[in-house]
């Protein structure tokens, strides 16, 4: 991960910066809490944390309009929080309780919100890519001007269905932004060991899909690129690819022995490129906020997360009848 | 305020672990992300990171301790200036409880034991008025009419697949639809089943009602992850929020002389999946009425057709809006000596056998399941209670067949009524051969059905 460029003076309001700070911090604190609850045995199974990648969804959500759709993989908590889904509902789904967004039946990897146009939360690597193009297909069919953000990782980028989808999305000019969240490791396999090309977005060129690299540790850069991509789609020009270079600080899932990369590598990114620290510096150096202002935000976020965790612990398990519901509409 | 650091669960199956090594000592200042300790789990040695910042006030479990239960306090984190002496002493690992662990799994209610054999209540109402005028139509035409009628009445219904448009359908089922509905609603896809199936499923999540035509169901194996993991399971996984109204249709099973990769019956495969409905019609009237119901159904429906039946003509009632409910079997022929249950092209063998058996004085009741999931087992049970003998007929393989499921249901619900073991007539347990003589041997035959009936009736 290249060190962040800090030379450019961002043209952004104090309020906007504070919003990004708050939203990214919410994701980080939420994920830390989820990690704790997992350690306590309150969350089971697979749990994939988003820590380090916060600027990606926060930046792209800033480029979205009401009614735009989003779909992603199993590393989905950040996406849900960023599009405004209730932290308590997300956390209670992680603990498998009736108050969870899927009534405790989906878990960490399978959550949805029709209201927020969040279409999951998908557990099969790459499967969300044609599904996302399908959402865009429906929007184009209805002519409603909406755009779908279809997120997938550098690992999923090697699935065949991604390229089947690129072909049809380009052929049919579907309004879909393909967001490759390149955190450089497909589970434990470094990109250089799994992927023939250094920059994955180039693969879109074979299908005539434009794309670009984005610094995923800089929320402002992500937002700017997102706006460009969305404008392209909304203008009816078809799909667009954003390859967002990012980094996950935690393991692939909670049971990651972390043998495939060095501690120093992770520490270096944390120290030099942390997306939340970046906005914090901008706020402080631009005199948009004082240390006390930020402490107040930290406290506010901590309370939101604690409340979510309390709800997730107190919400009861789903009643046994739920075993047999929601199989057929 | 002092915070206890608990022994973490580091994998989905971990209950205890070894605290292999402490990487901090009492008095050290730590911040979020610092490694505190190395912990050996059942799978690997893992680093355990600090989540909060603070000072290590006390280490409660010394390194090298084995069998430390998850959630045992292993250290205490304090804030600057806090009094360390007031902290509790190290507790032996064995005493540490596991109170915070997730509540114990609730036992699923056991399946209800087979009730005393009482006749199930089944829907015996006719599917159309007895005096409806009839017209001879092929299955192919009936399927096309069903799609056209539903597309006329609902703008959200569209057809997608290989060669469904300009080519007019690889088997001409979609003939004329492009002309009537245009390229927006009759969509030729590239040869890319996995991708276009995913797109269709996504569009169903997005509010449309796609009909996906597979040139044959053999090719749907490329897309089966999207059919099962995405289409069938999402309603459940979303707690009822996100349904998937979609029909996957196309020819299934053996055609003629196309060998192993193009001649497989998937009825038993799809029938196993909760969240899917599975239909396999025989007659043209049922094909039309069931396809219309499938398109209107809010669930994903796998609609298994048969290439050989496409050209076969049947009476089709000429009524406005012919629909046949999913999950309702049809009694084609009433009888008293034996029940023959089949579906799809298997019905051809079942009906031929019944005709020939009648010449020998054996009266066979023939049931067409029409829908395999949900299955109208009530109609089967009622019939077996009358005839006391059952033969099932299908083209698929014997192991894990539709017939074996029916046999188990009948054994549980009507065991006392059976006067002979149930016989499943199936395709042979081999990949489909190409050679004409071998292919004939691999398929189920009318003679085999007759032979099975004679066995169960002890003739």
Q: Are residues B335 and B313 in the same domain?
A: no
The number of angstroms, rounded, from the C-alpha of A46 to the middle of its chain's C-alpha atoms is 17
| Inter-CA distances, A152 with A5, A44, A136, B57, B442, Å | 25, 23, 16, 42, 45
Q: Is A67 on the interface with B (CB under 8 A)?
A: no
Which tens digits make up the pLDDT trace of B30-39?
887 788 998 8
The pLDDT value recorded for residue B108 is: 53
B345's tokens:
């092209």
Preferred mutation among B199, B227, B272, B326 to probe A, highest tally of A CBs within 10 A: B199
User: Between B40 and B313, whose confidence is greater?
Assistant: B313
Q: Give domain status of residue B422, yes or no.
A: yes
Q: Give domain status of residue B272, yes or no.
A: yes
Distance (Å) from the C-alpha of residue A120 to the closest C-alpha of chain B? Answer: 8
The pLDDT value recorded for residue B32 is: 75
Q: Are residues B312 and B336 in the same domain?
A: no
Q: Give domain status of residue B239, yes or no.
A: yes
Share the mean pLDDT of chain B: 92
Q: Answer yes or no: do B51 and A32 touch at CB < 8 A.
A: yes
Specify the CATH number for the domain of residue B29: 2.40.50.100
Chain A residues in contact with B237 (beta carbon < 8 A)? 102, 105-106, 110, 112, 120-121
What is the percent of chain B where pLDDT is above 70? 92
Q: Give domain status of residue B125, yes or no.
A: no
Torsion of CA A164, A167, A173, A176, to 10 degrees: 50
Chain A residues in contact with B242 (beta carbon < 8 A)? 112, 114, 119-120
Which tens digits make up the pLDDT trace of B55-82?
999 999 999 999 999 889 999 988 877 7
The pLDDT value recorded for residue A7 is: 45
Least confident of B9-13, B254-258, B324-328: B9-13
Q: Is A164 on the interface with B (CB under 8 A)?
A: yes
Query: Which residue in B293, B375, B294 sits closest to B341, CA to CA?
Result: B375
Residues of B carrying an active site annotation: 193, 262
Range of the domain at B157: 134-317
The pLDDT value recorded for residue A281 is: 96
Q: Answer yes or no: do A130 and B194 touch at CB < 8 A.
A: yes
The pLDDT value recorded for residue B137 is: 97
Which tens digits make up the pLDDT trace of B206-228?
999 999 999 999 999 999 999 99
Q: Answer yes or no: do B33 and A249 touch at CB < 8 A.
A: yes
State the burial class of residue B31 (Cβ atoms within 10 Å of its Cβ: 0-12, 13-18, 19+): exposed
The pLDDT value recorded for residue B441 is: 97
Report the domain count for chain B.
3
Q: What is the DSSP string of B258-269?
A: --GGG----HHH
Residue A50, H or E segment: none
Specify the CATH number for the domain of residue B361: 3.40.50.920
Q: Are residues B71 and B156 in the same domain?
A: no
**What's this model's pTM, rounded to 2 decimal places?**
0.90
Q: Are residues B294 and B374 in the same domain?
A: no
Q: Is A110 on the interface with B (CB under 8 A)?
A: yes
Q: Answer yes or no: do A41 and B198 touch at CB < 8 A.
A: no
Q: Are residues B218 and B311 in the same domain?
A: yes
DSSP secondary structure code for residue B415 in this structure: G
The pLDDT value recorded for residue A11 is: 77
Q: Are residues B384 and B312 in the same domain?
A: no
* ipTM at complex level: 0.95
The pLDDT value recorded for residue B42 is: 75
Q: Are residues B278 and B339 in the same domain?
A: no
Q: Give domain status of residue B288, yes or no.
A: yes
| Contacts (Cβ under 8 Å, ≥6 apart) of A128 | A71, A72, A73, A120, A122, A150, A151, A152, A156
Q: What is the 3-state secondary structure (H, E, C) of B376-405?
A: CHHHHHHHHHHHCCEEEECCCCCCCCHHHH
Q: Are residues B139 and B268 in the same domain?
A: yes
Which tens digits make up the pLDDT trace of B81-135?
777 666 666 544 444 444 444 444 445 555 555 555 678 999 989 999 999 999 9
Q: Is A312 on the interface with B (CB under 8 A)?
A: no
The pLDDT value recorded for residue B88 is: 61
| Contacts (Cβ under 8 Å, ≥6 apart) of B10 | A39, A254, A255, B17, B39, B41, B46, B48
Distant-in-sequence contacts of B94-98, Cβ < 8 A, 24+ apart = B94/B67, B96/B7, B96/B68, B96/B69, B96/B71, B96/B72, B97/B69, B97/B71, B98/A41, B98/B69, B98/B70, B98/B71
The pLDDT value recorded for residue B93 is: 44
Residue A149, H or E segment: strand A148-153
Query: Which residue in B220, B137, B139 sits closest to B172, CA to CA?
Result: B139
Q: Are residues B177 and B276 in the same domain?
A: yes
Q: Answer yes or no: do A165 and B203 touch at CB < 8 A.
A: no
The pLDDT value recorded for residue B102 is: 45
Are A36 and A47 a contacting pair, CB within 8 Å?
Answer: no
Chain A residues in contact with B275 (beta carbon < 8 A)? 327-328
Alpha-carbon gap, residue B204 to A190, rounded angstroms: 35
The pLDDT value recorded for residue B14 is: 84
Cβ-nearest to B206 among A139, A259, A325: A139
Domain topology for A14-315:
Rossmann fold (3.40.50)
Q: Answer yes or no: do A137 and B203 touch at CB < 8 A.
A: yes
Q: Answer yes or no: do A168 and B192 touch at CB < 8 A.
A: yes
Nearest CA in chain A to B32: A32
DSSP secondary structure code for residue B102 in this structure: P
Alpha-carbon gap, residue B220 to B279, rounded angstroms: 16
**Residues in chain A, pLDDT under 70:** 1-10
Tokens 């114990």 correspond to B104
Q: How many helices (H) and strands (E) does chain B have?
A: 13, 22
Distance (Å) from the C-alpha of residue A11 to the closest C-alpha of chain B? Answer: 32
Distance (Å) from the C-alpha of residue B323 to the closest C-alpha of chain A? Answer: 19
Q: Are residues B32 and B74 in the same domain?
A: yes
Mean pLDDT of B325-336: 97
Q: What is the DSSP string of A258-286?
A: --SS-HHHHHHHHHHH-HHHHHHHHHHHT
Q: Give domain status of residue B336, yes or no.
A: yes
Would you list the domain boundaries of chain A? 14-315
Are B146 and B153 a contacting pair, CB within 8 Å?
Answer: no
Going B168 to B173 to B176 to B182, the CA torsion angle's sign is negative
Q: Are residues B64 and B201 in the same domain?
A: no
Q: Answer yes or no: do B9 and A39 touch at CB < 8 A.
A: yes
């Amino acid at each position: 991960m290249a060190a962040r460029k800090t030379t450019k003076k961002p043209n952004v309001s104090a309020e906007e910066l504070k919003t990004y700070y708050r939203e990214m911090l919410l994701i980080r604190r939420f994920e830390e809490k989820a990690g704790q609850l997992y350690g306590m045995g309150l969350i089971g199974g697979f749990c994939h944390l988003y820590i380090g990648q916060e600027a990606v969804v926060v930046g792209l959500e800033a480029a979205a309009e009401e009614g735009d759709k989003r779909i992603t993989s199993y590393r989905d908590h950040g996406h849900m929080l960023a599009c405004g889904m209730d932290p308590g509902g997300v956390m209670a789904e992680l603990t498998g309780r009736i108050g969870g967004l899927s009534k405790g039946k989906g878990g960490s990897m399978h959550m949805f919100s029709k209201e927020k146009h969040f279409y999951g939360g998908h557990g099969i690597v790459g499967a969300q890519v044609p599904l996302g193009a399908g959402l865009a297909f429906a929007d184009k069919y209805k002519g409603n001007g909406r755009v779908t953000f279809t997120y997938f990782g550098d690992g999923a980028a090697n699935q065949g269905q991604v390229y089947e989808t690129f072909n049809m999305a380009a052929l049919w000019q579907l309004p879909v932004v393909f967001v490759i969240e390149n955190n450089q490791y497909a589970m434990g396999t470094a990109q250089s060991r799994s992927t023939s090309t250094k920059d994955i977005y180039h693969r879109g060129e074979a299908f005539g899909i434009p794309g670009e690299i984005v610094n995923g540790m800089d929320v402002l850069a992500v937002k700017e690129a997102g706006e460009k991509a969305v404008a392209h789609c909304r203008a009816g020009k078809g799909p667009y690819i954003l390859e967002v270079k990012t980094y996950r600080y935690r393991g692939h899932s909670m049971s990651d022995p972390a043998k495939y990369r060095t501690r120093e590598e992770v520490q270096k990114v944390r120290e030099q490129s942390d997306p939340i620290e970046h906005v914090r510096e901008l706020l402080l150096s631009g005199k948009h906020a004082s240390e006390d202002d930020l402490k107040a935000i930290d406290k506010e976020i901590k309370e939101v997360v604690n409340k979510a965790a309390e709800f997730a612990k107190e919400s009861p398990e789903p009643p046994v009848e739920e075993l047999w519901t929601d199989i057929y509409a | 305020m002092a915070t206890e650091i608990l022994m973490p669960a580091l994998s989905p199956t971990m209950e205890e672990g070894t605290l292999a090594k402490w990487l901090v000592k009492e008095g050290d200042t730590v911040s979020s992300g610092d490694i505190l300790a190395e912990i050996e789990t059942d799978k690997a040695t893992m680093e355990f990171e600090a989540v909060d910042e603070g000072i290590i006030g006390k280490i409660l479990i010394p390194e090298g301790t084995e069998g430390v239960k998850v959630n045992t306090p292993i250290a205490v984190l304090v804030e600057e200036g806090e009094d360390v002496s007031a902290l509790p002493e190290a507790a032996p690992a064995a005493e540490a409880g596991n109170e915070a662990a997730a509540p114990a799994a609730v036992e699923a209610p056991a399946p209800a034991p087979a009730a005393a054999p009482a006749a199930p209540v089944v829907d015996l109402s006719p599917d159309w008025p007895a005096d409806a005028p009839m017209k001879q139509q092929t299955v192919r035409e009936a399927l096309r009419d069903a799609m056209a009628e539903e597309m006329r009445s609902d703008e959200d219904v569209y057809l997608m697949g290989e060669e469904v448009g300009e080519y007019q359908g690889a088997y001409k089922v979609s003939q004329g639809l492009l002309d009537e509905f245009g390229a927006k609603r009759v969509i030729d896809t590239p040869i890319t089943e996995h991708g276009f199936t995913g797109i269709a499923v996504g569009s169903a999540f997005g509010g449309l009602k796609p009909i996906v035509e597979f040139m044959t169901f053999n090719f749907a194996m490329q897309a089966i992850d999207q059919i099962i993991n995405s289409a069938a399971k999402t309603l459940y996984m979303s707690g009822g929020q996100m349904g998937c109204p979609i029909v996957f249709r196309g020819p299934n099973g053996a055609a003629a002389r196309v060998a192993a990769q193009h001649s497989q019956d998937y009825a038993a495969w799809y029938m196993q999946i909760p969240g899917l409905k599975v239909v396999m019609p025989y007659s043209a009237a049922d094909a039309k009425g069931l396809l219309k119901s499938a398109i209107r159904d809010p669930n994903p429906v796998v609609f298994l057709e048969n290439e050989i039946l496409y050209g076969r003509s049947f009476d089709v009632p000429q009524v406005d809006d012919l629909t046949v409910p999913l999950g309702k079997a049809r009694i084609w022929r009433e009888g008293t000596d034996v029940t023959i249950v089949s579906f799809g092209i298997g019905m051809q063998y079942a009906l031929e056998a019944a005709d020939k058996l009648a010449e020998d004085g054996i009266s066979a009741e023939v049931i067409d399941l029409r829908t395999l999931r949900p299955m109208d087992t009530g109609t089967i049970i009622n019939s077996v209670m009358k005839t006391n003998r059952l033969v099932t007929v299908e083209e698929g393989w014997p192991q894990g067949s539709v017939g074996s499921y029916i046999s188990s249901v009948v054994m549980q619900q009507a065991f006392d009524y059976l006067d002979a073991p149930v016989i499943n007539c199936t395709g042979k347990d081999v990949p489909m051969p190409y050679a004409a003589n071998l292919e004939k041997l691999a398929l189920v035959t009318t003679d085999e059905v007759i032979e099975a009936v004679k066995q169960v009736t002890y003739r």
